[in-house]
Structures are given as structure tokens and as C-alpha cells.
A and B are shown apart, each in its own frame.
Chain A
Amino acid sequence: MSANSDSKTSNPDSSSSETVKPTRKTVALIGNPNTGKSTLFNALSGMKARTGNYPGVTVEKKVGKVVWNHREIDLVDLPGTYSLSPRSPDELVSVDVLLGRQEGVSAVDAVVCIVDASNLERNLYLVSQSLDLGLPTVVVLNMMDVARSNGISVDAEELAKRLELPVITTEAHRRKNVEVVKQAIADSVDRPLRTPESLFPDEFYAEAGQLRESLRTHKDIDIPQFLAQRLLIDRGGQIEQELTDSSAAGQQIKSDLEAARERLAAANCRVPAIEARVRYGWAREILDGVVTHPAERPASKSDALDRYLTHRVFGLFVFAALMMLVFQTIYTWAGPLMDQIETGQGFVAGIVEGVLPPGPLRSLLVDGIIAGVGGVLIFLPQICLLFLFIATLEDCGYMSRAAFLMDRFMAKLGLSGKSFVPLMSSFACAVPGVMATRVIESRRDRFVTILVAPLMSCSARLPVYLLLIKAFIPEQTLALGLGLQGTVLFLMYAIGALVAIPVAWGLKKLFFPGETPHFVMELPSYKVPSVRVIFDRVFDRGKAFVVRAGTLIFATTIVIWALGYYPGDHSKQYELQRSIVATETILESNPDNAELLEVTLEDLENEYHTVSSRLIAGSALGQMGHAIEPIVKPLGWDWRIGVGAIASFPAREVIISTLGTIYSLGGDVDEESEGLMGALRTSKWPDGTNVYNIPVALSIMVFFALCAQCAATLMVIKRETNSWRWPIFSFVYMTVLAYIGALITYQVGSLWL
């Protein structure tokens, strides 16, 4: 089967037939959700698929390039769907790919329909629609094991005979029969087009033909027969919306369309209802005698499990326990892994510092490039852990139950049950949270969830809260034994979630008006999750993040580095750095003079920190801080805090090291640093009054609770929405919100505190 070994043979006589055939073929995979389509795609493409976005929509484009039987084939994985009746631009992409109308994808030569053997009737609905394309088709009967365990038997040979198509049974998660599927696909790409069976009454085809004619006359466009049929059936669908514009021709089409539908209704062929009746009727006929269900449906383990897991008390208890586990994992267990990445980053930086003399190049490498790479990799533990859970819960069938359990609660907030897990995950980190919104079918719910997810208080805000609370909030005990410090921390966590409710409501009203999206959701049978499926998915998501968002995050870090480095004469700084290293070397070899040398070293370090502080103050970043002082003054902030806020654009916690540098303490401080707390407490305005007091500390915390200072989140939003519009919007609205929140906090706080 493998063509790679054969094509290496150097026999010139056979080369014409042995080498790869010149024409590249394109094969599309379609199937219902929960049929193991992606698993089969991974098995077929060997995990080498390229991902991207189709232009203008949020659908992920996945193409795997393979060579089978000396034939180069592009495998296109289309999103899982129950139907080919497009109701949105996103859904139209699949139809356009199948019709060879999608930019960037060559015309499809064959279709692979993956169907769930344990649920054939409903799965054949999509098969029936796709057969109308007339393309060579291979039917893959996946999940044969599930069907067997449910007592369902399928006569695949008879099914193939009735469909007049190759039908192959597989268990994709065990890689069973995958080679046979490859063979069948390779065989199918050269087959001629089929003539679709006429399932509908003759009147229907006549009307569809007339519509095509009408489009040719009035709009001078020729649409495929398949689209004309979809136009006729899909009342208010995407194709109708695009063809019946407000132009005279569009209006003419609209009236022709309405008239055709009326004539069909009169002929007892009313659209859209006719389609489901015809196709399900066909499916039942095809399956009669092919599928045998057990006479008495056995009380399956899945049904029993379902009774407990959707139980109103026990079900919620299990759900809460699971979510607690997920949350704990990404919140706590990712920590050690992230520390290791930081250690690794420090190690690499150390090597560079040992090799290169102090200078712009070294600073670029250490503070720009290595810090940038570290800033990307640091998110991987959280992303991988979250998707480990999500993939497990999804593959075993629990994820849709979680949405089922939480739907009512989320509906009160104007979203659906599917938004719960992404939003909850965002309390640990919005990056995987935003990536997890891909399961939300409704575009409106998905976008609103993406836009409010960064308001959830993530773990990167914690160091900022801890530093300021420890330095400025007194250790008092309030009523009921509640500590004041803990209460403030809790309020900071709550503020984002509370603000998200009106924001979500406003976003829906402003950007996504229209009827409430429906929440019709299949609840698949439970099954033992497949380790391979889970790891494939974790790998896929991790790779997608690093490749597609990583470069942008990296670039942001470099820009901020440059703003903090230039302009400025760093020669004095480098000289001091060299002296520090030299003194340290002497100190090591001269333990006798330790006391004196340590004093010298301390002086040098202090001077170094002072110089560094002066440099950042004079840099573009420092100048920006000074420039925005009039704007941030109403928040109670001085220019130093302004610099910290700008410098923390790549990530919120950067404000701590920036403040450390500004206050001449060096950038190595953390939220526990007594030195930094001391520096903050004694920081003065030019008139000698203290910069920081409780209202200022609260105003900074509120700002950081609500702002969008996280390049990674913004870049992931760019990737997931496939547009710069939404990350820019997120940044603007959150910054405005943060500013107003901080302003109110400071101004109101100053009245009382």
C-alpha cells in the first residue's frame, strides 16, 4: 500500500508507472458530529495535516497531503454536520468545498461519508444529501464496536449493494481497516461522476431547473443543480440570502422562488418539510433488512449511566466534582510545568549571557527573543491539560451532558450550556478557554463567549493582586471572621464575572441581534475514551496554538522589548554588568576578602539598578508613561504605574518586574518581594505626598481585573475569530471598562479611605 518505498525504485522502464501520477486529487471527508470523523482523518493523514482558516469565516481548514497508490491526494476534513443545508456563511463553506467553489481548495474528486454504524438511520440523512452532489463516494461505517455492543448488526455488503457504493466497516480509534479505507479512496478518485437518484417528485426537479434558468436570465450566473435544489428547499437559508439581494434581479429571483415554492406546496411537495420526509423515507427503505436491532432494546450501560449523570442531585454533584478537578488541574498542577519552562528559559538565557558580552544583541536575545519564546511556551501546560480533560470528556460522551446540565443556568445569562466549560476554564487562563469555544455551534454564542472570557480573573492576575493586597490592605478581621485581605481578593475575582453579565447582554444586542439560537443537541452514547484520540487532540491544539498564535505573541514581546530598550545609551549599564561579573569572579577565588568584595558588589548592583531605572524612564516606554500621566492621574496613578500598565501589554504579571526595574530594584522581583513593597509604600509624588494608598492600590487591581493586558489572549481571539476586528474590539472595550472601573474605584475610594 505504501507508495513511498516503490517510488524510490530507480528502474527507468517502470518509472512512468511507478512514480507519482501527475494529477493531484482532492477528497473531502464529511460526517455527523460524534462519528469519529476527525479520528479517521488523523489515521488517514498520519497527523501531518495543515490547519488554517477559510477566508472570511471561522471554519478551521484542515488538509492532509498523502500519497497512496502513487497518487497525491489532498484530504480535506470538513466540520462535522447533520445536514448540508447551509444557514450561515460558516455552513456554506462545506457546500462550497464539495462543489469546488471554495477559494484555495481544488475541485473535489471524491467524497468520504463517515457514518455511525450504531445510529445509521439519522446518519444516512447526510449521506442522502451528499449523494445529490453526484461525486464518487465512499461510505465508511465507523463505530462498528459500539453498534455490536448495542446488539445492532449491519449487513455492510447488502448496504453497499443497495447504495451502489463501496461501504467499509472500521473502528477508527483502533486504526482498524484504515488501510482498506485508503485503498477505497484511492480507487474512487478516478471514477466518473454518478447520476444522483431522483428521490423527490418530478415537479421538484422541474422547479429547480427553472430556477437555474431564471438565475441565468436575470443574474447572468450559472449555479450547479445541487445549489438550485438547496435554494429551493432552504427557506431563508444562506444561499437564498446571497442570491435574493435588494437589486431588481435579486427581487425577481425572490418572487420566482416564492412562486415555485407555492406551486410545490399545491402539488403536495411543500418545502422545506418534503426534504426530511423524502430522505428519511429513503434511509428507512435502504436499511430495511440491512440493519437488525435487537427485538427488545437492551437496557444498555450507557442508559443506566445517563440516568445517574443527568440526575438532578447526583448528576450535578458529579459535574461539580469534575469541574473542580479540571479547574484544580489547570490552576495548580500546571504551575510546576510552567516553572520548568521558566527555569529552562533562565537556563538558555544564562548560556547566552555567558557567551555574549553585554550589548544590544545580548539584550535582544535574552529580553526579547528568549523571553518571547518563553512567553509562548508558558501557556502550553495549561492548554494541554485543559484539552486533555476536554478531549477525554468529549470522547466519552460526557461533554454534551455537561452542556445539558448547565444550559438553564447559562441561558439566564443569555448563553447556552456549551459556554460553561470555556468560561470556567478562563478563570485559570483565557487562552485555552477561548480555544475551547470551538464546540459552540451558534456563532452568536461562540463570539459572545470569546469576548467575555478574558474578563474571568485568570491566574496571571493573581501576582498583581497579591503584591498590592499584601503591601496596602491592612490585615484586619471583618465580621464573621472574614479577613479583609481575603475579602478584597475575592472581590477582585468576582468583579470580572459580574461585569461579564451586562457585557454579554450588551454585545448580543449590539452585534448579534436576531432570534435566540436553538440548542438542539445530540447526547451521544457513553463510551470508553480512546487514549489515541485524546492525545491526537491535545497535540493538535498545542500545535495550533504555538504555530498560529505563537508567532504573534512572540512579535509583541519583541516590540515591547524594543520600546523599553530604545532610545538610550546603555554603555554605562554594560560597563556595570561587566564589573559585577568581574567582581563575582574575584569573590569566588578570594574568599578571604569576601566582606569587602560583597560590599563592593552590592554598591555595583545598586548603581546598576539605578542606571537601569534611569534608562527605562528615558526609553520610548518611559516617555509613553510620562505622556499618559495626565490620563492616568484621575486613577491616582503616577507615570511609573503608567509605564507598568503599558509594559504589561504582553502579559499582566510583567508589571511586577517592570515596577522592580523602575524602582531600581532590578527586574527579578516577585509579588513576595519586601523590597518592592517597601519601594511602593515610600514612592512619592514630586510634592512629597505618597503615590500609593489604599484607593490607588484598589484602582490598580480593578484596572488589571478588567483590562486586556494579555497579548496571548488577543492573538488567540484573532485566530479563533479569523479577523483582527475582534481582538482590537476586545482590547478597546476592556481597556475602556478597566479605566472606568479604576476611575470610579479611586474617586469613590478617596472620599472614604
Chain B
Amino acid sequence: MEARASRLLTDLRPGDSAIIAEIIGDDSLSIRLMEMGLLEGESVSLIGYAPLGDPIEFEIRGYRISLRAAEAQRVCLEAIS
């Protein structure tokens, strides 16, 4: 897999799926994200945006979750090979 500028969850477009590479940080937000099942190796897809562009709806582990863009930026994705 070639090295690329790391992509973030916010870089997905509606309908796109990707594999999570890493959750950045050790604070309560990153803990919450991991508790909700956003973990390295997990597949996540972007469902759509709220009317004002934020927050964003995602699907992970078979359920839907809403994250603000600032929160979704904590999630790094694996580069698509």
C-alpha cells in the first residue's frame, strides 16, 4: 500500500465506505468514539449531511451515528489501494 496524505472521515463522500486506520487522541472524545465502535480495521460509510452541512451521518457496525465534522476529523482512514 503506498503512503498517501492520510485521509479523514470527513473526506468521504455520501455513499463512500472506508476502513478506519486510527482514532487520534486520548481524550474523552476519542474514548467515546472508540466506545461507540469506531476502531482500527472497522468499515465505516458516510450516509449524508444535516441541512447545514454539519453534523454528518455515518454507518458503523450495522447502526447509524451522527458526528460533528470536528469530531469526525479525529478518525483517520486507511488509504485506498
Contact = CB atoms under 8 A, between A and B. Distances in A.
A405 B28 contact: no
Contacts of A488: none
Contacts of B64: 306, 522-525
A311 B51 CA distance: 7
A407 B68 contact: yes
B35 to A, nearest CB: 5
A280 interface: yes
Interface string B43-73: 0000111111111010001111111100100
Contacts of B4: none
B32 to A, nearest CB: 5
Contact of A315 (B23, B35, B51): B51
Nearest to A233: B31
B27 interface: yes
A268 B80 CA distance: 27
A314 B39 CA distance: 33
A523 B65 contact: yes
Contacts of A306: 47, 57, 64
A313 B48 CA distance: 13
A405 B68 contact: no
Contact of B63 (A119, A312, A404, A409): A119
A521 B50 contact: no
- Choose among A306, A405, A518 the residue with the greatest number of B CB atoms under 10 Å from its CB: A518
A316 B51 contact: yes
Contacts, number: 120
Nearest to B58: A523
Nearest to B31: A272
- Choose among B27, B37, B47 the residue with the greatest number of A CB atoms under 10 Å from its CB: B37
Interface string A161-181: 000000000000000000000
B37 A122 contact: yes
Contacts of B33: 520
- Choose among A235, A276, A400, A417 the residue with the greatest number of B CB atoms under 10 Å from its CB: A276
A520 B36 contact: yes
Nearest to B48: A310
A316 B30 CA distance: 31
Size range of the chain A interface in the assembly = 35 or more
Nearest to A312: B51
A408 B53 contact: yes
B2 interface: no
A432 to B, nearest CB: 25
A273 interface: yes
Contacts of B62: 118-119, 121, 293, 297
A106 interface: no
Interface string A385-428: 00000000000000010011101110100000100000000000
Contacts of A118: 62
A277 B48 contact: no
Contacts of B47: 306
A236 B66 contact: no
Contact of B28 (A87, A316, A411): A87
Interface string A287-320: 0000001000100000000110011110110000
A83 B37 CA distance: 11
Given A306-B64, A312-B49, A518-B71, A122 B36 contact: yes
A573 B54 CA distance: 66
B72 to A, nearest CB: 10
Given A518-B71, A519-B66, A521-B65, A236 B28 contact: yes
Contacts of A87: 28, 31
Interface string A507-523: 00000000000111111
A524 B36 CA distance: 13
Interface string B6-46: 00000000000000000100111111111111011000000
Given A83-B35, A519-B66, A522-B63, A408 B54 contact: yes
A188 interface: no
A121 B37 contact: yes
A663 interface: no
Give me the 3 closest cross-chain CB pairs, A-B, nearest first. A276-B34, A408-B52, A312-B51
18 contacts: A121-B37, A125-B37, A234-B31, A235-B27, A273-B34, A280-B37, A293-B62, A306-B64, A307-B48, A310-B50, A408-B50, A518-B68, A521-B55, A521-B65, A522-B65, A523-B57, A523-B63, A523-B66
